[in-house]
Structure 1
Amino acid sequence: MNDLNDPQRMNIRGDDGGGGSRWSYALVVPMLCLAVFRSIWTRETEQEKSRLREDFERRTRDTRSELDLRYRSLVTESGSSLARLELKHEKLKQRLSGYREAFAAQSQLLASERRQLQSQREELQGERRALESLRRVGPLHDAVLAQEELALAGARASLRALESALEERQAVYCSLLVPRQRRHVLERDMLRRARHEVALGRMAVHDGLLDIFANDGHCAHVTNEDSRRNGKLMWVYVRHWHTLLELHKYQQVQQRLHAEDPLERPSA
């Protein structure tokens, strides 16, 4: 290395008998040391970089694996939660639908009961008005009813006599000892009475007797001693005729209550 300020002492000269190699070695050694240090440092640096890279890749793999497991766990848990929520939602929908149907049915039932109560209320009001009307005409109604009951006394007596004759006729019919002529006499007498008595004629007793004589052949057991056990059709007709008498009585009462003078009974 040359020093321009002191060329005599400091510059390397080639004719000094090889003394300039001293400077060359002085420069080579630091450069070699520097090269060795750089080589060692580079190798250590590369090893450190490789170690750091491997550690980073390992941590990255571990983190990725952990995140993947966590992701899969979250997906599974989310799927399970979603399934539970969907099931719960479906149950709630079904329950709500059941509540709606029950509410609709209850509403219809309440509406029906309301209509029924309204109808019953109207009926009760009608009955109340009828009772008030009957209360006003009660004494008059009783008087007219008593008159009609008295007027039907003869018809009731005739019907009771006819009932006794029918009972006797059926007993003769079922008897093995009484002659048949006795039954014929009883039948002719009942038919004659039914033709000539007005009350019996009004109830068509004559036609009923003919039906009984032709079709009522029922007899109780031969050991029977109660004559009322004989016959079936005849008792149906007897109850029917008694009912017609009651119906006629109340029809007459109703008709007279609407007349100008209810207590004045019209001639039969």
Structure 2
Amino acid sequence: MLSNLDFVRQSLELHLFFARIMKEHSFFLEVGFTPKDASFTQRADEFRREFDKLLAEVVSLSNGVVGTGVLQSGEVVTQYTLNAERASSYFTGVQIPTEITLAETRLMGGGMVAVTPMLVQRVAMINQKAIFLISGLIQFKATILSNVLSCRMFTVNYPLLIDHIMREARLYLRTVQRLQNRENVIIEKEALEQEAFWNRIMAEHSKFIRGLLDPTENELINTADNFGKEFDQLTAEAIAAMDNTASFEKVTADSLKATAEIRDFKAQGTQGLLNCKIKSIIIPLLGDHTLREANHYLRLLKIFER
């Protein structure tokens, strides 16, 4: 069973990463509907605002509690996040609360704040609120995907992207539920499952990037295509390792190398989008969003490698 310290720290670290991911999923959905589906736009905006509130509350409790490694990993915010939010807000007219991002840049690592019963209670309440919100967002995404696949709705988001963000939300939900039940989540024991999951996510990021680049961006398209194929292979290898038909150590080493490379590609791409050097229909916040997910996965892989 988790100690109060681990319960609070792991919960806050999870929300710092995933609550931001969820609010951005809501944003991507919100700006992707047509005028006909204004009610869906409004619902997506409501989810985005609710996750803003959740993240703001998490940030207010995190200083001196969460691990320094998480804060330094680039999964909470990157050097591009603030400008990506400002640019994406400018392009869409959606008001993104950048003060949350600024507050995150000022967070300090753990060991500075005592974990009191009141803090434990507040974190448990945040977890319960998150479970409610994530469950609703999963259902909303499922409805959108069903509508798109049955040609009852058009959106600029790929069906695969909607399925992709639904899988991420389900992982978030499962993890919050386990923490709320005080399960001791030992990430190393779930390494192969995590690698299969995140390698697939990296493969799909590559394919989304490839499909959203302007057709004249041949070099970037080829690079993204190669990453997609590489991570498809790594996903298959991670699944094979679960059945003991491939080496866990090799899969982890190969995944670490490939993820470091795609992280650099995404960082360069995000900078290129912000500097208006890349022709695409990629909104800048999507570039930074995928970069943070690569940073998160890199931190996990470094844990697995020990």
Fold shared by both chains (TM-score > 0.5):
no
Q: Which has the higher relative contact order, 1 or 2, with Cα contacts under 8 A spaced 6 or more apart? A: 2
TM-score range, shorter chain: under 0.3
TM-score (structure 2 length as normaliser) = 0.19
From the CA coordinates, give the structure whose radius of gyration is larger: 1
